[in-house]
Chain A
Amino acid sequence: MVVNIQSSPFGSQSRTRVLLALRLLDESYARELSRVLEMPLSNAQKALRSLEIDGLVAARAVGRTRVFRLNPRYFARDALQKYLLRLAEPENRLQASIESLRRRPRRTGKPL
């Protein structure tokens, strides 16, 4: 038997963790989320799709990528954001993973 050590108040671990990551990242896409959350890409995509149907997240197209964020038009968005921030507090591993992402601009052509 596997013991779940994390709660999943949004229906599944994947859905809950995707929401937590989006709260911390502001916006992201399936491949980045699967990397950050260390879950298969298909799980991240499935979670995003179901959260989108529920109206909790929304996406726009940037080139060929669908970029997701918490739905700013969701009627309870303020309460949801506060709740997610609280849920994210003990998530040290997730926070460390997100902090390791470079998201600030990098001039085109500048070597890594």
Chain B
Amino acid sequence: MKLTAQSGLGAVATVVGDALRRDGIRAVLTGGACANLYTGGRHQSVDADFIVGSPVSRAAVDLAMEKIDFVRAGDRYVHAQTRFYVEFPRGPLAIGSDYRIRPVEWETKYGRTLILSATDSCRDRLAAFYHWGDRQSLRVAVRIAIAHRVSLAKIRRWSIQEGARGGFEQFANELKRARARK
């Protein structure tokens, strides 16, 4: 699938994930681009963060990315046709102190890629809210929980481990209010 200036972040992230998978590179989409997929594009971001799951050379990543016309520019990969760029932050794949993360497969017409589950994407956004006080991330977490089935029990347990019992209560209240408005 050729990327164009009209390609959205979701399409770009899926095409990249698919290209990496086809080259045998196990990479999981996280962060804002993952939230973008779960909110149907309502959460805007300009980069797609992939965490690589097993040791892989920079040359192998370069090669996989070149096949879809991404070139390395410093520590990110850019494409002539799209403003969205791709980064590979250092692992391990973790959400706060929890590193036992099981990604799920996301398949669309653009391809197949590994991403965080809806529950984990929600936790990923909440981590930014808990640790940085970022209310934009709280709003996105609520949007994900409205649009997808998430395990509130798992989120609650993890929030308490992160020392954010109060933060979870705020999230639960916001979610309740958002559901009532629906």
Contacts and interface: CB of A to CB of B under 8 A. Distances in A.
Contacts of A74: 94
Contacts of B92: 75
Nearest to A54: B90
Interface in B54-109: 75, 89-90, 92, 94-99
Given A53-B75, A77-B97, A78-B97, A72 B89 contact: no
B3 interface: no
A94 B41 CA distance: 48
Given A53-B75, A60-B132, A76 B97 contact: yes
Interface residues of A, number: 11
B131 interface: yes
Contacts of B96: 73, 75
Nearest to B124: A73
A72 B132 contact: yes
Contacts of A40: none
Given A60-B132, A72-B132, A73-B127, A53 B90 contact: yes
Given A53-B75, A60-B132, A75 B90 contact: no
B89 A55 contact: yes
B128 interface: yes
24 contacts: A53-B75, A53-B90, A54-B90, A55-B89, A55-B90, A60-B132, A72-B131, A72-B132, A73-B94, A73-B95, A73-B96, A73-B127, A73-B128, A73-B131, A74-B94, A75-B92, A75-B94, A75-B96, A75-B97, A75-B98, A75-B99, A76-B97, A77-B97, A78-B97
Interface of B: 75, 89-90, 92, 94-99, 127-128, 131-132
Interface of A: 53-55, 60, 72-78
